[in-house]
Amino acid sequence: MTWAAFLDRDGTIVVDKHYLADPDGLELLPNALEGLRAMRDLGARLVVVTNQSGVGRGYFPAEAVDRMHERLRELLAEGGIELDGIYVCPHAPDDGCACRKPGSALFEQAAEELEVDLGASFVVGDKKADVEAGRRIGATPIWIGGEAADLREAARLIRSMRG
């Protein structure tokens, strides 16, 4: 079994533009590629887990999220990065689903499908829900904006914790 870096999307990998649904507006954050490359070099599976409540709120259709992720994969591929998976919660906050972070359902699904040990994994994100999700699944949370300024620093922290 392997381990993963579970990554939030908006505010962690890409600039958070508040309910962005246009793939042309997707913009990688500084040091995102470098950080992801370093995590991959450490042996991590790279898995995006993202809340996209804009779908549940009716701001844009699920297909818009799919197009955003196609563009994200293109941007990352240009930098030599391939994601192992993207898992999306499309629900609004009051829908009561188990998949919306800090819920654990998407992490558990990814762990099963990708044969990932949650306890050996990391959850990297810029929101309290990401940190709480990491705690709930027994992974190590890394807060962008807290312990780490960006994905490059998050990768350094992971390297130091994994020895």
Sign of CA dihedral 153, 157, 160, 163: negative
Which residue, among 144, 161, 162, has the nearest Cα to 153 in the 3D structure?
A: 144
Cα 17 from Cα 147, distance rounded (Å): 23
CA distance 105 to 59: 24
**HSE (CB half, 13 Å, CA atoms) of 90?**
13
10 catalytic residue (yes or no): yes
Exposed, middle or buried: residue 115 (CB in 10 Å: 0-12, 13-18, 19+)? exposed
Q: Is 66 an active-site residue?
A: no
Residues identified as active-site: 8, 10
